[in-house]
Amino acid sequence: GSLCELLTKLGPAFIKAGQALSTRPDLVSPVVLEELSALQDQLPPFSNTMAMACIAEDLGAPVKQLFNQLGDEPVSAASLGQVYKGQLPDGRAVAVKVQRPGLREQITLDLYIVRNMALWIKRYTRFVRSDLVGLVDELGTRIFEEMDYIHEAENAERFANLHRHNQRIAVPEIHRHLTNRRVLTMEWIEGIKLTQVKEVKALGLDPEDMINVGVNCSLEQLLEHGYFHADPHPGNLLALADGRIAYLDFGMMSEVQRSARTGLIQAVVHLVNKDFDKLAKDFVGLGFLTQKVDLKPIVPAFTKVFSHALEGGVSRMDFKSVTDDLSGVMYRFPFQVPPYYALIIRSLVTLEGIALSINPQFKILGAAYPYFAKRLLVDPDPELRNSLKEMVLSENSLRWERLDDLLGSAARSQGLDPEALVDSTLNFLLSDAGSKVRSQLVGALVDQLDTMGWQVACRVGQRLPRRWQLHGLQDPAPLPGTPPAMWDVLGLFRKLPYFEPAMLWQSLPRLLGEPVVHRMGLQLAQDLAERGVVRLVRDILLPQQSLLPTESTPAS
């Protein structure tokens, strides 16, 4: 649109500002958000002569001494720089990124102008609640970080180290001796954009599988490591012939504190439970709302946005439509989007856009839910233990279907360790948070053992000589409303890949030594004894008394 064209003509700082605003529903209306989301970080290339001069100046030697060859034309050009394909003296192919000449001075001047505009808006208008000046300062910090290619090299190396154990992720090697503030040299990676579906299939790869790898990696970045790639557009994600996904361009990275990572998972739990009061409080904890904001009018707005979207379950929610509806809520109420979350939105919306080009039915929350399930079941964090408790318990009862769904979803998650899940489940069961679950399991066992014992007694009683048969043992029908059997738990675990029942039996010595398990055993014995006494009196002795001989009823 005309707004995007205007920002592109104004230059790099304005393009970056437009991209930043495209993830700020608290600042601009949904209509403007939609237009800004189409803003592309592309500019015409600058001259090769200037690029070669920059390389020689920054690396301290003529280009011909540094490279066997360097492309005559750039392979791509963006707002901050352009990329050439080259070859090292040892024959290895490299990508050489060169910064636009005079960029630092131009960005400084543009940011000065934009900051003064923000200051004027802050002083003389009231329609913007968020700190616009703070936003510009944050933007300036990020742009200057992005312009420092040494910083980008450090980002790439840190990212590679965090994901070194993931066999499906590739990160280009950085050539530090050919890298400086304005020149970045890295390994050339030959790959295909994920959006080029035919070409990806021609390699014998499944595009949807590749997208799931990307989604899982993004969730690991966001919720496990707290360090994520904030610009995963199609040009920065490549499918490789060996089935890996390569990440490129590490200029825009962001960090999420552990408290925020935990808070995001808790928000998903409250969303699944449709607990919109707690969800509103989560938004306070995550920094979207201040402590002073009245949440009463916000809860009904959340209910309206999410209730319809959740009808098919969280895994079928349309992320784009929900974020669009939520943008309207954020614009109406006093929300302020934290900088880290703005980049998360940008990252996930971009990723979903790539996925939708491959599969129009793709649901990013559906693809992400198995990861959330795995984290809830395996993570030992006390706050997440409580979130798991919220998820699977309803007042005093265990939601077996919810636990079943969690385990089934976790089984679809990449990198799930069944042994770790068994250990984590037992730790939860033995903890204070698992007290209600223990009570439910004891109750389920009592019901099952009592029913089985009664059925055995009835069958034995039916085989006795008629004169010895007891009236109360004639009907072997089970008790009504018997909850799932204890061995249903084993059935749930069997859904997990690579699960073996021996994993549970290996934990038996540890369980037998736990005081909590001793108390469960005593409770089980006590409840069974009480149930037995009640059955003896109600079903055996009382019916016999009604059949005792009287004056009008001769004894048989």
Active site residues: 231
322-325, Cβ contacts within 8 angstroms, sequence gap of 24 or more: 323/25, 323/349, 324/30
Radius of gyration of the chain from its Cα atoms, rounded to whole angstroms: 32
Positive or negative CA dihedral for 159, 161, 165, 169? positive
The string of DSSP letters for 374-432 reads HHHHH---HHHHHHHHHHHEETTEE-HHHHHHHHHHHHTSTT--HHHHHHHHHHHHHSG
Element (H, E) at 245: strand 245-247
Please report which helix (H) or strand (E) contains residue 287, including its range: none
- Which residue has tokens 């290619």? 149
Place of tokens 């990723």: 351
Sign of the torsion angle spanned by Cα atoms 313, 319, 323, 324: negative
DSSP secondary structure letter of residue 174? B
Residue 549, phi then psi, degrees to nearest 5: -65, 140
Cα separation, 186 vs 93, whole angstroms: 9
Question: Which residues are 96's β-sheet partners?
Answer: 84, 185
Token output for 136? 């510009």
Alpha carbon of 445 to those of 165, 265, 314, 421, 491: distances in Å? 42, 32, 32, 23, 15
Compute the distance between CA of residue 281 and CA of residue 304 in angstroms, rounded to an integer: 17
